[in-house]
Chains A and B, each alone.
Chain A
């Protein structure tokens, strides 16, 4: 178990649940949709185990059907953005027959245009953010591109929190590890109050002194 995993597991005893992080991510896509007046927005997280992109949060079109669906990590527009770390904006993309067919199959509607930005945190691309069908009357400007990039940074932080919470949960659920034991102790301690908590803290301090030798 890495030190990060251990720290995360212990922290999970005292920090917010995955539900709260998911709500943060949902709020993120709602805001993205709002600031660009878009028809839909979604966040996809890169899943290391399967080497795929997974829809984590969707606002607008596809909100009922897309969460949990998967895309390849290095093909298609999302894969290109993830691998190259470059945001792109495409309009009239529905004229691409392969794209149109895929989109129709997954969501039931084919976007005319899209913006896609990588979500990068600590050098690492964690996933991508899509904004679909912003109003066509406005010509796209570089200011909007910068806004998209800045917003992507914020979404990356939310995604990083969710990912850490999940790792922590996985550690907690694996009852055989030393760190799970430690995490359960931290969790139990949080549930105590009054003299029992004081006694628990005193015992842990003694243990700490013992470990330090």
Chain B
């Protein structure tokens, strides 16, 4: 493994002559990237994963505990407040997502950011505020099984998605099941996820015709639900945490990967690409 690049006093807008050595990658990639190289033996240990959703039931046996839970409140003048979440999950969906991630990456550190519950009116503001907060916390993976159709939020969400990308926070976002324009899953800086119908949690496909980039398990999935219960569920919003879990596994083994490299590793290990075999 090469030494990390030394600190330079100048911003890295360009690469001066003779300094290419400083760009040596901390991880050497093999000639053929396999799942064994990408996440073999990983349990997601040390990876901080955020579930941006309806909250999470922390004592559900499938969730296995939370390292943190906050709720986003929208106050007068669209001011955002992030407070400790004492209500848990207001729907069941966030718990379902957390349980799926936990089933794939059992040792990852799960956090909940609840952006629902303040009424529909402030929901776009809460989503944006919650995402901004989550990016500031430096979570390595943020699961977003939700989107907005309001174009007024598109530009702002795009900025936050790009900020996340450059700060090594991966956003994994559900593609829409319906023929409508929505965000942030359409942005190229996020990993967008649709569903396939196969029953295996680690089967995923790369889509060579974006904007949906990956298909993961999203049909008839048994998930954690409220009151310690379980339900069977279908939808892209359940495919997304499968990809989040796989991202956590890869980052558990290769924590230095940038979102671009992580997406490349996903591509190379997809079931319809050579490394996925």
Is the CB of A173 closer than 8 A to any CB of chain B?
no
- Chain B binding surface SS class: loop
CB-based contact A80/B116 at 8 Å: yes
CB-based contact A96/B227 at 8 Å: yes
Measured between alpha carbons, how far is A152 from B235 in the docked complex, in Å? 15
Q: Which of B150, B179, B237 contacts A84 (CB 8 A)?
A: B237
A-B contact pairs, 29 of them (CB 8 A): A74-B118, A74-B119, A74-B123, A77-B93, A79-B90, A79-B91, A80-B54, A83-B123, A85-B146, A86-B174, A86-B176, A87-B177, A87-B178, A87-B235, A88-B235, A88-B238, A90-B233, A92-B231, A95-B229, A95-B231, A96-B227, A99-B92, A120-B180, A139-B219, A140-B219, A142-B234, A145-B234, A149-B179, A153-B179
**A interface size (C-beta, 8 A):** 45
**B interface size (C-beta, 8 A):** 46
CB-based contact B91/A77 at 8 Å: yes
Question: Nearest Cβ in chain A — how far from B249, in angstroms?
Answer: 25
Question: Nearest Cβ in chain A — how far from B5, in angstroms?
Answer: 40
Of all chain A residues, which has the CB nearest B147?
A85
Against A, the Cβ 8 Å flags (1 = close, 0 = not) of B84-101 are 000000111100000000
Residues of A within 8 A of B220 (CB): 91, 139-140
* Chain A-chain B contacts (Cβ-Cβ < 8 Å), number: 148
Starting from the known contacts A72-B119, A97-B227, 12 additional A-B residue pairs (CB-CB under 8 Å) come to A48-B121, A75-B91, A79-B116, A80-B116, A95-B230, A118-B178, A124-B150, A139-B219, A140-B220, A146-B177, A149-B179, A150-B179
Residues of B within 8 A of A96 (CB): 92, 225-227, 229, 231
Interface residues of A (CB under 8 A from B): 46, 48, 51, 72-77, 79-80, 82-93, 95-99, 113, 117-118, 120, 123-125, 139-142, 145-146, 149-150, 152-153
Is the CB of B145 closer than 8 A to any CB of chain A?
yes
Of all chain B residues, which has the CB nearest A91?
B232
CB-based contact A145/B235 at 8 Å: yes
Q: Which of A75, A87, A97, A153 contacts B117 (CB 8 A)?
A: A75
Residues of A within 8 A of B78 (CB): none
Q: Which of B148, B197, B227, B234 has the most CB of A within 10 A?
A: B234
Interface residues of B (CB under 8 A from A): 54, 90-93, 116-121, 123, 145-151, 174, 176-182, 195-197, 218-220, 225-227, 229-238
CB-based contact A76/B146 at 8 Å: no
CB-based contact A97/B226 at 8 Å: yes
Question: Nearest Cβ in chain B — how far from A78, in angstroms?
Answer: 9
Residues of A within 8 A of B197 (CB): 141-142
Measured between alpha carbons, how far is A71 from B198 in the docked complex, in Å? 35
Residues of A within 8 A of B227 (CB): 96-98
A77-B92, A142-B197 given; A85·B176 CB < 8 A? yes
Measured between alpha carbons, how far is A162 from B119 in the docked complex, in Å? 23
Measured between alpha carbons, how far is A146 from B219 in the docked complex, in Å? 13
CB-based contact A86/B91 at 8 Å: no
Q: Which of A93, A99, A142, A150 has the most CB of B within 10 A?
A: A142
Residues of A within 8 A of B196 (CB): 142
